Structure formats: structure tokens, C-alpha cells
Amino acid sequence: MAIRVLLLAGALLVLACSHGATASDPSLLQDFCVADKTSPAHLNGLACKAAKEVVVEDFYFSRLHVPGNTTNKQGSAVTAVNVAQIGGLNTMGVSLVRIDYAPFGLNPPHTHLRSTEILTVLEGCLHVGFVTSNPENKHFDKVLNKGDVFVFPKGLVHYQYNNRTSNAVAIAALSSQNPGVITIANAVFGAEPSIPAGITTKAFQVEKSTVDWIQAQF
């Protein structure tokens, strides 16, 4: 009897742990739930297309080999492959991005509130890093070469910088069909309407003229 109780307790513990280890997106309850992008229904995710209307193209994307346009202020470009591009990713809890970097290009500090990210360098060299939450704000950074892999924990601010004179390319998997992204500088200094100057000057301990100059960049 005691052995049975122990086995039952162990089974319950395993179930509890496995439940806590699930991805950020809801788990599948069927083989697939291809997104119906025409549905007016408002869900935490997207409504399912009728199974009889699903076609192979719902699971396919063909343009990830095309370099992104890095002729911008940051010198980087992100090509997303999430549920917006592949309807078949709906409820799958995974997505992908290709990131192109011009020489000295930067994918600036940002966060994915719904996703962990695992990045692989395909070409070139990247200086990457992330910062832990308050109060420690510890900075973990490393220089990656071709073939190296790095993990950015869910929700933490992170970045990638091409510190070389040649182009770089990376591919990253994310643990959400729609990981979302908040670029820190854009959110703080490019908000519409603007965050009041009294708040930003106090937060960053700078003069209003400095805040005005930064906001003008966005």
C-alpha cells in the first residue's frame, strides 16, 4: 500500500512539473489548427480554419534565403516566419526569424515577452548579450562565430551586434507562434503620444534637451 501511495505521489509530481514546463502558447488539442485570418472571432491566438479547407501551403514559407534590407539606421533586418506568414504555426508554440546585419549593424536592445530565443550564427561574427531583471541587472555577453549558438531567456532584454567589417547572418527559433517584440529605445523615446518629458528626464537623470534630441531620432 505504501509503495502505491509513493508511486501515485511521484506520478502527480511528474505531472505538476511537466505542466509547469509547457511553452508560453496553449497546447494543441488536435493535429493542427491552421489560422483562419479572415475570421472575426477574437481569441487568445487565431481561430482555426475548417480542416477540409487546409492545404499544404498553409505549412510552407519560401523566402528565408532572401537577405533582408539592412540600409537603415541600425544596419539590420529581421525576416519573421511566424503565424502571420505560416498559418499552420497557429497553436504550435514556435516561430523563426532570419536576421541580417550590415557591417557594424545592430539588432538593438529588445525583449520578447512571450518567448525564449535560441540563435545560431550562419555567417560572420556577432557580439550578443542579455541583461537579467532587477535588482541585479547582470550583463551576460559573448562573441559568437559561425556555427555558434546562444540562448536569450524569455522576457529579458537582449541584443546582437555585428562587430566586423563584413556582413553577418543569423537564424533564431522562438518558443511562441507570435513572440512579439518591444525595442526598448523605440518604446521609451518613440511612443505616440510621447511619454511626458518630466518622466523621461527623471528616469534617465538627464536634461530635457537631451530627451528632446533622442526623441527626434525616432
Question: Considering all CA atoms of the chain, what is the largest pairwise distance in Å, rounded to the nearest integer?
Answer: 75
Is 19 annotated as a binding-site member? no
Q: Is 163 left (phi over 0), alpha (psi -120 to 50) or beta?
A: alpha
The model carries a pTM of: 0.84
Is 117 annotated as a binding-site member? yes
Other Cβ atoms closer than 10 A to 64: 12
pLDDT at 46 over 90: no
How does pLDDT run across 105-161, given as a tens digit for each residue? 999 999 999 999 999 999 999 999 999 999 999 999 999 999 999 999 999 999 999
Is 107 annotated as a binding-site member? yes
pLDDT band at 86; cut points 50, 70, 90: very high
Is 42 annotated as a binding-site member? no
| Helix ranges restricted to H, the chain | 2-20, 184-189, 197-204, 208-216
